[in-house]
C-alpha cells in the first residue's frame, strides 16, 4: 500500500513538473542579466538621473545665448494720470497700452558660464559611470542568484538519487529478511531513512522556489511568470597563482565605474572653485529694447490761424491793430495702430556690474568650493582603498574556494569508495541497515558539499574576473 502511495504521489509530481516545464520560459545567464538591466528599478532610477544631468548640461550651455522677452500691458486709468503719449496730466478715464521687446546678451561673466558648462559635462559623465556601476552590481547579484538556483537543482538531483538508492536498499533488505539473513529491524531503519530523504527533497524544492523568487525580484519580473534556467558550463579552470593585488588593481583602477565617477567628481569640484572665484570679477552685458504705447487721451490736434484785434492807445487815439494767432483745435482720438507706429522708440547699451562688497558671500562660496574639493578627494581615496580591499578579499576568496573544492573532491572520492564497500557488505548481510544509512548520509553530505564548493568557486572566480575586466556575459 505504501509503495502504491509513493508511486501515485510521484506520478502527480512528475506531471505537474512536466506541465511547468512546458509553460516555463527557458533563460540563460545572459538573458537574465539583460532582463534585469532593462527592468530593474535601480537601473531605471540611474537612467533618470542621467537625463536630469543632461538637462542641466543643456541649460548651462544655453546660458551664454541671448535672452529675448516681450511684454504687453493694457489697462484703464481713472482720475488724474499721465498721458504717456504727451507726458501731460489728464483728468479723465483713459485706456493705455504699452508694448516692449527686450534683448540681453552676456559678454563677460568672469568665465562662470563657461565653467558651469564644463562642470555640467563632467557631471553627466560621472552620472553615466554611476549607472554603469549599478549595472555591474546588478549583473553580479543576478549571477549569484542564477548560480544559487543551479546549485539547488543539482542538490535536488542528488537527493532524489539518494531516495531511489534507499528504496532499492529497502527492497534488497526485504529479500534478506525474507531469507532470514538479516533481522527484521533493518527494515525500519531503511524506511526511516527514506522518509528523511523525501523530507530533504521537499525542503530543497522549497528552497528552489525561494531562489527563483529571489531571482525574479532582482530582475523585476512578474512573480507569476514561469521560467527555467539553462545549465552552465561548470568546468573548473585552473587557478593562476600569479594573481596579485597590484596586477588586478592596475587593471581595475583604470576601469571600475565607481573609481572613475569619484575622479570625475574631483574635477567637477575643482571646476566649482573657478565658478565661485568668477563672482569676484566684473560682469559685462549688452542690452537693447524697443518700446511703444497707446493712450485713448491722445487726440489729433490741428492749428487754426486767426486774427485777433486789439485797440492801442496812440497819442490819445484808439487805434485797432490785428495780430495773427494760432489756436490748437483738438480732434478725434488718434487710431490705435497709428499710435503704436508713431510712438516707437528704442535704446541700446552696455551694462557693467563691478562687485565691491556683498557680505563676504563670494569669499564664503569660494571656501565652500575648496572644501568640496577636499571632500571629493577623500571620497576618491576611500573608493580606491575599498577597491583594493575588495580585490584582495576576492583573491583570497578564490584561493580558499579552490582549496575547499579540492578537499571536497578528495572527500567525495573517499566517501564513495567507503559507500561502495559498505553496500557490497550490506548486500551480503554482513553490515546492518544502521551502518549502511550512516555511510549513505556521509555520501550525500559529501556530494552536497562538493556541489556547493563548486558553485562557490565558480562565483568567486566570476567576481575576480569582474575586477580583471572580464565581462560576466558575452554580448556577442
Give 428-466 pLDDT, tens digit per residue. 767 776 677 777 778 888 888 888 888 888 888 888 888
pLDDT tens string 317-361: 777 776 777 766 666 788 888 888 888 889 999 999 999 988 889
Q: Give the Cβ contact number of residue 360 at 10 Å.
A: 10
Fold classified for 66-108+283-295+335-354:
Outer membrane efflux proteins (OEP) (2.20.200)
Q: Give the Cβ contact number of residue 258 at 10 Å.
A: 19
Quick one: how many helices (H) and strands (E) in the chain?
Answer: 10, 10
Measured distance CA(280)–CA(246) in Å, rounded: 46
- Please tell me whether residue 88 adopts helix, strand or coil conformation: strand
Burial (CB count <10 Å: 0-12, 13-18, 19+), residue 269: buried
Give the chain's mean pLDDT. Answer: 83
Q: What is the pLDDT of residue 186?
A: 67
Q: What is the pLDDT of residue 8?
A: 39
Delimiting residues of CATH 1.20.1600.10 domain(s) in the chain: 25-63+114-281+373-476
User: Which position has the grid cell 555591474?
Assistant: 136
Q: Does position 309 have pLDDT exceeding 70, yes or no?
A: yes
Delimiting residues of CATH 2.20.200 domain(s) in the chain: 66-108+283-295+335-354
Q: What is the DSSP letter of 181?
A: S
pLDDT tens string 79-105: 777 766 666 777 777 788 889 999 999
Q: Does position 17 have pLDDT exceeding 80, yes or no?
A: no
Q: Give residue 469's region: left, alpha or beta (phi > 0; psi -120 to 50).
A: left
Q: What is the pLDDT of residue 4?
A: 38
Q: Does position 50 have pLDDT exceeding 70, yes or no?
A: yes
Q: Does position 376 have pLDDT exceeding 90, yes or no?
A: yes
Grid cell at residue 137:
552590481
Grid cell at residue 82:
499721465
Measured distance CA(101)–CA(96) in Å, rounded: 17
Mean pLDDT, rounded, for 107-129:
93
Q: What is the pLDDT of residue 172?
A: 72
Grid cell at residue 109:
561673466
Mean pLDDT, rounded, for 222-226:
90
Question: Domain 25-63+114-281+373-476 - what CATH class?
Answer: mainly alpha
Amino acid at each position: 500500500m505504501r509503495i502504491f502511495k509513493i508511486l501515485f504521489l510521484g506520478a502527480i509530481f512528475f506531471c505537474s513538473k512536466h506541465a511547468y516545464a512546458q509553460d516555463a520560459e527557458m533563460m540563460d545567464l545572459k538573458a537574465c542579466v539583460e532582463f534585469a538591466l532593462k527592468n530593474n528599478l535601480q537601473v531605471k532610477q540611474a537612467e533618470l538621473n542621467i537625463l536630469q544631468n543632461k538637462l542641466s548640461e543643456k541649460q548651462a550651455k544655453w546660458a551664454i545665448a541671448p535672452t529675448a522677452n516681450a511684454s504687453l500691458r493694457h489697462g484703464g486709468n481713472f482720475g488724474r494720470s499721465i498721458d504717456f503719449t504727451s507726458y501731460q496730466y489728464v483728468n479723465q478715464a483713459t485706456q493705455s497700452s504699452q508694448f516692449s521687446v527686450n534683448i540681453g546678451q552676456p559678454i563677460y561673466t568672469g568665465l562662470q558660464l563657461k565653467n558651469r558648462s564644463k562642470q555640467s559635462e563632467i557631471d553627466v559623465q560621472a552620472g553615466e559611470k554611476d549607472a554603469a556601476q549599478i549595472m555591474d552590481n546588478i549583473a553580479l547579484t543576478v549571477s549569484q542568484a542564477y548560480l544559487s538556483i543551479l546549485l539547488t537543482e543539482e542538490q535536488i538531483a542528488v537527493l532524489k538519487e539518494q531516495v531511489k538508492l534507499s528504496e532499492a536498499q529497502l527492497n534488497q533488505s526485504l529479500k534478506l529478511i525474507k531469507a532470514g539473513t538479516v533481522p527484521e529491524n533493518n527494515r525500519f531503519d531503511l524506511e526511516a531513512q527514506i522518509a528523511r530523504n523525501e523530507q530533504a527533497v521537499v525542503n530543497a524544492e522549497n528552497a528552489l522556489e525561494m531562489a527563483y523568487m529571489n531571482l525574479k525580484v532582482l530582475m523585476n519580473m512578474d512573480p507569476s511568470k514561469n521560467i527555467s534556467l539553462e545549465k552552465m558550463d561548470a568546468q573548473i579552470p585552473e587557478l593562476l597563482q600569479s594573481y596579485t593585488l597590484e596586477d588586478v588593481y592596475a587593471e581595475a583602477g583604470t576601469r571600475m565605474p565607481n573609481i572613475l565617477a569619484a575622479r570625475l567628481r574631483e574635477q567637477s569640484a575643482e571646476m566649482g572653485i573657478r565658478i565661485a572665484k568668477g563672482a569676484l570679477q566684473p560682469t559685462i552685458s549688452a542690452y537693447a529694447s524697443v518700446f511703444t504705447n497707446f493712450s485713448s487721451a491722445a487726440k489729433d490736434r490741428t492749428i487754426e490761424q486767426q486774427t485777433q484785434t486789439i485797440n492801442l492807445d496812440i497819442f490819445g487815439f484808439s487805434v485797432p491793430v490785428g495780430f495773427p494767432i494760432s489756436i490748437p483745435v483738438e480732434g478725434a482720438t488718434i487710431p490705435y495702430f497709428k499710435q503704436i507706429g508713431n510712438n516707437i522708440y528704442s535704446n541700446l547699451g552696455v551694462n557693467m556690474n563691478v562687485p565691491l562688497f556683498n557680505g563676504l558671500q563670494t569669499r564664503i562660496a569660494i571656501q565652500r568650493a575648496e572644501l568640496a574639493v577636499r571632500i571629493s578627494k577623500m571620497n576618491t581615496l576611500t573608493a580606491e582603498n575599498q577597491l583594493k580591499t575588495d580585490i584582495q578579499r576576492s583573491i583570497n576568496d578564490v584561493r580558499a574556494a579552490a582549496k575547499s573544492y579540492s578537499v571536497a573532491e578528495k572527500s567525495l572520492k573517499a566517501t564513495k569508495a567507503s559507500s561502495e564497500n559498505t553496500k557490497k557488505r550490506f548486500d551480503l548481510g554482513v553490515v546492518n541497515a544502521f551502518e549502511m544509512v550512516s555511510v549513505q548520509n556521509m555520501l550525500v553530505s559529501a556530494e552536497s558539499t562538493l556541489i556547493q564548493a563548486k558553485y562557490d568557486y565558480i562565483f568567486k572566480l566570476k567576481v575576480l574576473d569582474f575586477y580583471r575586466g572580464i565581462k560576466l556575459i558575452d554580448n556577442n
